[in-house]
Amino acid sequence: MKARSTRKTRAKRPLTFAAVRQLAFALPGVEEGSSYGTPAFKVRGKFLTRLREEDQSLVLTVGSMVERDALLRADPEVFHVTEHYRNYPHVLVRLATVQKDVLARMLTDSWCRVAPRRLLAERD
């Protein structure tokens, strides 16, 4: 996924977790639960995303470390990592600065990585 680094990518208002919930439930098979004691979404039991309450960011799995590093370089106001995620293909997405359509695309990409074939076929 390519992120733009212009001001147009900034959210006008911070996204709320309610908005994340709406985006997540638009995808087939998504269930709400918890992960590490924080609100999370899964697809048939597989991790999709979770909220990092300490910095109001979402943890998202990306396709590769190369993709993650490109996002970090392209828009550090939106994307970041902590030391904990440094060696994993995860990116943290700040709800305060991400645009809703960018997050929707990223959630969909992540969903495609974890959804079972049958759900993928239903979506197509």
Check which CATH number belongs to the domain holding 68 and give it: 3.90.1150.30
Residue 124 within a domain:
no
**pLDDT tens profile 30-54:** 999 999 999 999 999 999 999 999 9
Residue 91 within a domain:
yes
Residue 105 within a domain:
yes
Look-up of token digits 């079972």 = 116
pLDDT at 75 over 50: yes
Residue 52 within a domain:
yes
Weakest mean pLDDT among 8-12, 26-30, 98-102 = 8-12
Domain interval for residue 102:
12-119
pTM for this entry: 0.85
Per-residue buried b or exposed e for 10-20, using 16+ beta carbons within 10 Å of the residue's own CB: ebeeebeeebb
User: What's the token pair of residue 46?
Assistant: 């597989």
Percent over 70 (pLDDT), the chain: 90
pLDDT at 87 over 60: yes
Residue 45 within a domain:
yes
pLDDT at 121 over 90: no
Residue 7 within a domain:
no
Residue 4 within a domain:
no
- Tell me how many domains the chain contains: 1
Residue 2 within a domain:
no
* Confidence category of residue 122, pLDDT binned at 50, 70, 90: confident
* Confidence category of residue 9, pLDDT binned at 50, 70, 90: very low
